[in-house]
Structure 1
Amino acid sequence: MPSRMLLSCDPHDNEAGLMLLEDLTTNANQVQLEVLEEILTQNANTEYLRGYLDGHSDKGLFKKKVPIVNYEDIKPHIERIANGEPSRIISAQPITELLTRNFRGQPKLMPSTAEDLDRKTFFYNLLIPVMNKYVDGLDQGKGMYLLFIKPEISTPSGLMARPVLTSYYKSSNFRNRPFNPFNVYTSPDETILCLDSKQSMYCQLLCGLVQRDEVLRVGAVFASAFLRAIKFLEDHWRELCSNIRTGCVSDWITDPSCRNAVSSFLSKPQPDLADFIEFECNGESWEGIIKKLWPRTKYIEVIVTGSMAQYIPTLEFYSGGLPLVSTMYASSECYYGINLKPLSKPSDVSYTLLPNMAYFEFLHVQKNNGKLTVQKIISPCFCHLFSGLYRYRTGDILMVTGFYNNAPQFRFVQRRNVVLSIDTDKTNEEDLLKAVTQAKLLLEPYGFLLTEYTSYADTSSIPGHYVLFWELKTRGNNDLSEPDHTIMEQCCSTVEESLDSVYRRCRRRDNSIGPLEIRIVKPGTFDALMDFCVSQGSSVNQYKTPRCIKSKEAIKILDSRVVGKVFSKKVPFWEPFKMETK
C-alpha cells in the first residue's frame, strides 16, 4: 500500500474512496504513529526541534522534551520566516505561504507548504463518496456554493499571508481542478476570485438564478455567509430580475473577469425566468424560498455546528424543510475530520478524525483494560503538522463522542474564551472588557457610571449584531435619567473601534455584522438576572455577572427592563494588516 501520509482520492470512484476511508479509520493508531515518525524524521534537523531533540527523531523522547506551546511561543520563529529567514527554522519543507487566523486583534501567521494544499485536496475529494452514499444523483446537476476570497497580506519575505479558504481558492489545486461531475459549481471561478465582495455576491447569485433548474444543492462555508446571501437576494432581486429579463448585467459590475464570466450565462433575454423569480420573491413571505427558487435542491451545505448553531432556526425558515449538512471540521492550522452521517440533525453531528492529516493529541482520554473508552470527554486538541508546528495548542475545545472503527469522533464545543461571534469574528471576554472600558469613559463627564454590563449575539436579523446591556447610575446631582442619545451613539462607536481587526473587517468590508447596539436597562436589572441564575443552580457566593448571555429566558428578563436603545451610526475604521520588517 502507498504511504498514508500524502494520499490521493479519485472523486469519481466512490467504492475506492469509501475503502480508503475504512483503511484509514481501521488503522488509525498505526497511521498516527507513521505520521509522527515522518514529521520527526523529516524535521529533526530544523532549528526548532534540534533545540529539544539534538537531531534525534525518537517518538518517546519527543513527548518528554518538546513542550506544548501556544501561538505566543512560536510567533517569534514564524515572524523570522515572514521577515525573510529560511523555512528550516521550523520546517524541512519550503514554506510557500502563511495562513492567517485572528489573534488578539492581529492575524496569527500559520506556516503552510505545497503538500498541505495536496492534503486539503485529498480531504475535499473524500467528502464526495461520503455524500454519494447518502444522496443519489449528485452528478446530474450543479451546486450553488457561494464562495469568497478575502484580502491578503504581503510579508517582507515575499510570502503572502491569507485566510485558509482564500489560499485554497487561489491555488492551482482549485483553479486547475479536473472536471468532476459530482462537484460542478454554478459560480464561475472568476466570480469566486473577485476581491470585491459585493460584485462577487451579485454575480454568483445571478449565475445561480439563471441555472436554477440545474441546482441540486446550495450552500456556503458558514451558515452566516449563506444567510447573508439570502439577505442580499432580498435586497437585490428586482435588479437581478432586470438583468435576466434583458440579458445584460448591471453597469456597476466593473470587474472585467466577473463581467465576462457572467455575460456567458446571460447570452439572451429570459423574460419568463425573470417573471417567475419576480413572482416568488414578491410573495407575502420568504418562508421556504430556497425550495421555490431552486426546486431540485436536495440539501443545504453549511457549517451549523459551534457558534453557527445560532443560525439554524433562520435557515430552517428559508429552507422549506431541506436537510442542513455540515460535512467537515477544519481550522487554519489543520483539517481535522469529516461527518460520516451528513444527513444527521445538526445537534447530532460528530466528525470523524482523519488520522493522516496531522498527528493529534487529546488530553484526558481514559483507558480501560488497555482500550480507549469515551464518556463525553471534553479535550483541548494539540496538533503536530508537517509544516512545522509541534505540540501546538489550537484553542479548539472538542468533545470526544465515540469511535468510527478506531478513529475518534468528536463534536466542536467552543473556541477557548470566546464570548461573542456572529461570523468569522471571535470576541473574548478580555477584548469586550477593554472595549467597554474605553466607551464608558465618555459617560463620566456627564455624571453617569456604568455599574454592570453583559452582551449577546443577536442573530434574529441579517446580518446579526452585538447587543450590550448597560445598567447605569447617576453621580451627584445629575437629574437626567439616561445619557443623551448622541453620547450613547458615540459609546457604540467607541466599542466597535476598540474591538479587533476581524470584527472591524466584518463590519466595514464584508458587511457580515450589523451596527452594534447598546440597550440601557433600569436599575436593579442585574439583581434580577442574578436571581434568575441562582434559581437555575448558580451559587450565590460564587456568582459573577456573565459577560455573555445565551439563555433565552435570561435575555427576556433583560429585555423586559430596557428603557432605551441606541445603535452605532459610524462604521469602524479598518485596513488590511501590514507587516513591518524587523
Structure 2
Amino acid sequence: MEPAVPVSYYSKSNGNHEHDDIIDWFENACENAGHVQTQTLRQILQLNYGVEYLKKWFGEQRDNLNIQNMDACALESLFTSTVPLASHADLDPYIQRIADGDKAPLLTQQPITTLSLSSGTTDGRQKYVPFTGHSAQTTLQIFRLAAAYRSRVYPIREGGRILELIYSSKQFKTKGGLATGTATTHYFASQEFKIKQEKTKSFTCSPEEVISSGDYKQSNYCHLLLGLFFSNQVEFITSTFAYSIVQAFSTFEEQWQELCNDIREGTLSPRINIPEMREAVLEIISPNPSLASKIEGCCQELQNLDWCGLISRLWPNAKYVYSIMTGSMQHYLKKLRHYAGELPLVSADYGSTESWIGVNVDPHLPPENVTFAVVPTFSYYEFIPLYRQKEDYHSAIDDFIEDKPVPLSHVKLGQQYEIVLTTFTGLYRYRLGDVVEVAGFHKGTPKLNFVCRRKLILTVNIDKNTEKDLQLVVERGSQLLSKAGVELVDFTSHADIANQPGHYIIYWEIKGEVEEQVLSECCREMDASFVDHGYVVSRKTNSIGPLELCIVETGTFTKILDYFIGNGAAMSQFKTPRCTSNQVILRILNVCTIKRVYSIAYG
C-alpha cells in the first residue's frame, strides 16, 4: 500500500553536503544490497531473538544458535525454514495483548509504547501496528533521502517556505494505556518531528497548532490562509496523498473570498474556533491589502478558466507538487494536473503503516512511470513470485500461482511479487498484500512498480476483480463522460449479493450536467470492460446481473470522508475505499443516490 506519513524534511540548496552524504550512504547500501539485507536480518534477530513469538518457532534450538557468527546464507535459510509466513491475523493476538497492557517481550525487546492504527480504507477495517522509535527514525531518514534526490532536479531557494497540507488526528489510549492513533499522528508527536520543526521552522508555512488541531476543515483553512500569506516564498506544495491536495483546492474554490478578506484585514474567520490555533495564526498574519487584491484578481480570472493552473498562478515561485500519486491516488491525477497547470507532479515514496520500503530516485519522471528503489536497511524483505495459471486469458491476482519466497538479491526483472516484511518493530515474515513488479535496478537494489493490493475487492461468485481492474474499467467509462464535458469527482463500488443474481454497483459523483443516454453508454462500456474470465462467463450465463451505475449528489464523498475522520482516521491517511461493504457507507451512498442506470444484456 501507499505511504502513511507525509513529507517533512526539505532541501536548502543543490549543493547541500548533507544531501550528498545521505545519497552516498544509500548508493553504497544499494551496491551491496544482498549483504546489507542479511546484516539487517541479523540485527533484527539479535535484537529480538528472545521474544515470545520467535521462541514459539525456534523452540529449544534457540539456546544453541550463534546468530552473530552464523554464515549469511545459513542464517537466511534457518529463518525462512523455521518461521512461517504470517498475516496480520497471526500476529494480532500478540498485538492485542500489548494493547491490553502486557509488558512481556512478545514481539520486540524494545518497549512498544505506541500503536499505529491503519486507516481502514484499504480493506475496510482498522488494524493495530507496533510503532517504536525505529519507526520515527526511518520516517525521518527516508524524508531526508527523498529530499536529497529531489534537490538535484528541483533545487529550492535558501529561506523558502513549503505549503504543507498535513493533518494530525487525536490520539487515544488502549485498555493497557498505550497511545494509539494514525502513523502520521505518532510521527507529528515524536521527538524526531519536533527536532525537524526546530531546524527547519522557517520553511513551513503552518505552525504546529494548525497541524495538530484534530479538525481537518479548520486546519485546511489555516493552511491555505498561511500559504497565501507567504505565497511568494512557497517553493513547493505537498501533502501525503494527492486526494488531500485536490480536496484542499476544491474547498479553496468556495472559500477564496473569505481568505482574501482575512489577508486584507489581518483577521481570522470565525469558522476557526480552536483557541490555540486562532492565537498561533493571528501571531503570524498581518494586514496586507495589496496582496489580497492581487489574489482576488487572480481568482476572478481563474474562475473563468475553471480554476485551471490555480497552483502555478497563486504560488508563482513553486517548483513542483509532491505527494503520493500511485495506487488508489491515480484517479486524482487528472484533477491535480488541472490545478497544477504546468508545474511538475512528483510522486512521493513507497511504504505502509508497517514499514517504509522504497524511495523515488527519479523525481523527474511523471507519476505514471515512477518506481521505488528498495532501501535495504529498513526491513528484511522477501518476495513471493506470482505466476498466472493460464496465459490465454486474464486471471485475477488471487488466481496467481505462488512460488517460494526469494530474498531481495534473487528478484528478476519483469517478475511480479507479493512483498513479505520482517521488521525491527516485531513483524516477522509478514505478508503485506502489495503486488509489485520489478521494473529495474538501482545499483544492486530492485526498483519496484506498485501494481495493486492483492486483496480481491469485487466478487459475486467465481468472478475476481481487484482495485486495479476496477480503476481501468472506471477510466474506460469516464472517457465517455469527459467527452460530454463532465468531470468524474470520485467513485467506489459494491458487490450486491442481497438479491439474485448478484451484480456490481458502481457509485459516481460527477460535476456537471449530463444526459441519461450518456450515463447509460458509460454503464455499458464499464460492464463490457471487465475482462476477468469469471465475470465474463457469469455475465453471459446471467449468473451475474447487469452492472448498476448510481449517480450520487454533490458532496457525498465528503460525507464518507467525514465518517472516517469521525471514527479516528486522519485526513493525511484517508483513501476513498474503492469497494465497500460497510453498511454505514452504503447507507450514505444509497440515500444520496439521485439517478440509477443499468447496462443491457451481456454478449
If the TM-score is normalised by the length of the shorter chain, which range does it land in? Answer: 0.7 to 0.9
Contact 1:110 1:333 (8 Å CA) reproduced: yes
Contact 1:471 1:520 (8 Å CA) reproduced: no
TM-score when scaled to structure 2?
0.72
Pick the aligned partner of 1:377 from 395, 408, 415: 415
Q: Supply the distance in 2 between the matched residues of 1:569 and 1:342 (Cα, whole angstroms).
A: 34
Q: Supply the distance in 2 between the matched residues of 1:345 and 1:295 (Cα, whole angstroms).
A: 21
Q: CA deviation at 1:558?
A: 7.4
Matches within 5 A, 1:459-538: 464-466=490-492, 532-533=528-529
Contact 1:530 1:543 (8 Å CA) reproduced: no
Q: Identify if the C-alpha distance between structure 1 residues 357 and 30 changes in structure 2 by more than 3 Å, giving closer, same or farther.
A: same
Q: Identify if the C-alpha distance between structure 1 residues 307 and 190 changes in structure 2 by more than 3 Å, giving closer, same or farther.
A: same
- Corresponding residue of 1:91: 108
- List gaps (5 residues or longer) in structure 1: 1-8, 420-427, 434-453, 476-491, 497-512, 547-556
Q: Supply the distance in 2 between the matched residues of 1:323 and 1:569 (Cα, whole angstroms).
A: 29
Post-superposition CA distance 1:247-285 (Å, at most 9, x none): 111123121221122112222x21111111111112211
Post-superposition CA distance 1:137-176 (Å, at most 9, x none): 3434111110011233421111122111111112121123
Q: Supply the distance in 2 between the matched residues of 1:520 and 1:379 (Cα, whole angstroms).
A: 42
**Superposed CA RMSD:** 4.1
Contact 2:241 2:323 (8 Å CA) reproduced: yes
Contact 2:357 2:378 (8 Å CA) reproduced: yes
Give secondary structure in 2 for the equivalent of 1:63. helix
- Corresponding residue of 1:445: none
Q: CA deviation at 1:322?
A: 0.9
Q: CA deviation at 1:132?
A: 1.3
Q: CA deviation at 1:467?
A: 6.2
Q: Identify if the C-alpha distance between structure 1 residues 324 and 97 changes in structure 2 by more than 3 Å, giving closer, same or farther.
A: same
- Corresponding residue of 2:362: 341
Q: Is residue 18 of structure 1 aligned with residue 23 of structure 2?
A: yes
Q: Supply the distance in 2 between the matched residues of 1:183 and 1:132 (Cα, whole angstroms).
A: 18
- Corresponding residue of 1:332: 353
Q: Is residue 28 of structure 1 aligned with residue 33 of structure 2?
A: yes
Q: Supply the distance in 1 between the matched residues of 2:456 and 2:532 (Cα, whole angstroms).
A: 21
Q: Is residue 281 of structure 1 aligned with residue 299 of structure 2?
A: yes
- Corresponding residue of 1:446: none
For 1:301, the aligned partner's letter is Y
Q: Supply the distance in 2 between the matched residues of 1:266 and 1:568 (Cα, whole angstroms).
A: 34
- Corresponding residue of 1:53: 58
Q: Identify if the C-alpha distance between structure 1 residues 558 and 107 changes in structure 2 by more than 3 Å, giving closer, same or farther.
A: closer
Q: Is residue 397 of structure 1 aligned with residue 435 of structure 2?
A: yes
Aligned length: 487
Give secondary structure in 1 for the equivalent of 2:29. helix
- Corresponding residue of 1:505: none
- Corresponding residue of 1:356: 377
Q: Identify if the C-alpha distance between structure 1 residues 529 and 273 changes in structure 2 by more than 3 Å, giving closer, same or farther.
A: closer
Q: Supply the distance in 1 between the matched residues of 2:526 and 2:288 (Cα, whole angstroms).
A: 60
Q: Supply the distance in 1 between the matched residues of 2:363 and 2:385 (Cα, whole angstroms).
A: 28
Q: CA deviation at 1:390?
A: 0.1
- Corresponding residue of 1:238: 257
Runs of 4+ in 1 over 6 A off after TM superposition: 365-368, 457-460, 467-475, 519-522, 524-527
- List gaps (5 residues or longer) in structure 2: 1-8, 68-74, 387-402, 464-471, 541-545, 570-603
Q: Is residue 68 of structure 1 aligned with residue 98 of structure 2?
A: no
For 1:402, the aligned partner's letter is G
Q: Is residue 147 of structure 1 aligned with residue 166 of structure 2?
A: yes
Q: Supply the distance in 1 between the matched residues of 2:198 and 2:510 (Cα, whole angstroms).
A: 39
Contact 2:163 2:236 (8 Å CA) reproduced: yes
Give secondary structure in 2 for the equivalent of 1:33. helix
Give secondary structure in 2 for the equivalent of 1:409. strand
Contact 1:401 1:411 (8 Å CA) reproduced: yes
Q: Supply the distance in 1 between the matched residues of 2:319 and 2:523 (Cα, whole angstroms).
A: 49
Q: Supply the distance in 2 between the matched residues of 1:142 and 1:527 (Cα, whole angstroms).
A: 45
Pick the aligned partner of 2:276 from 226, 244, 257: 257
Post-superposition CA distance 1:226-255 (Å, at most 9, x none): 000101111111110111111111123121
Matches within 5 A, 1:415-430: 415-417=453-455, 419=457
Q: Supply the distance in 1 between the matched residues of 2:124 and 2:419 (Cα, whole angstroms).
A: 23
Q: Supply the distance in 2 between the matched residues of 1:527 and 1:10 (Cα, whole angstroms).
A: 45
Post-superposition CA distance 1:324-383 (Å, at most 9, x none): 001311110001111101111112111000000000001229999x98563321110000
Q: Supply the distance in 2 between the matched residues of 1:236 and 1:126 (Cα, whole angstroms).
A: 36
For 1:271, the aligned partner's letter is P
Q: Identify if the C-alpha distance between structure 1 residues 330 and 531 changes in structure 2 by more than 3 Å, giving closer, same or farther.
A: closer
Q: Is residue 319 of structure 1 aligned with residue 340 of structure 2?
A: yes
Contact 1:175 1:189 (8 Å CA) reproduced: no
Q: Supply the distance in 2 between the matched residues of 1:260 and 1:324 (Cα, whole angstroms).
A: 34
For 1:275, the aligned partner's letter is S
Contact 2:33 2:409 (8 Å CA) reproduced: no
Q: Identify if the C-alpha distance between structure 1 residues 206 and 525 changes in structure 2 by more than 3 Å, giving closer, same or farther.
A: closer
Q: CA deviation at 1:88?
A: 0.5
Q: CA deviation at 1:189?
A: 1.7
Give secondary structure in 2 for the equivalent of 1:394. strand
- Corresponding residue of 2:191: 172
Contact 1:106 1:577 (8 Å CA) reproduced: no
Q: Supply the distance in 2 between the matched residues of 1:417 and 1:18 (Cα, whole angstroms).
A: 35
* Larger mean Cα displacement after TM superposition, 460-469 or 291-300: 460-469
Post-superposition CA distance 1:411-449 (Å, at most 9, x none): 111112264xxxxxxxx658xx9xxxxxxxxxxxxxxxx
TM-score when scaled to structure 1?
0.74
For 2:296, the aligned partner's letter is E
Q: Identify if the C-alpha distance between structure 1 residues 418 and 166 changes in structure 2 by more than 3 Å, giving closer, same or farther.
A: farther
Identity %: 28
Q: Is residue 270 of structure 1 aligned with residue 288 of structure 2?
A: yes
Give secondary structure in 2 for the equivalent of 1:397. strand
Q: Supply the distance in 2 between the matched residues of 1:18 and 1:182 (Cα, whole angstroms).
A: 24
Q: Which has the higher contact order (CA 8 A, sep 6+)?
A: 2
- Corresponding residue of 2:574: none
Matches within 5 A, 1:105-120: 105-120=124-139
Give secondary structure in 1 for the equivalent of 2:196. coil
- Corresponding residue of 1:158: 177
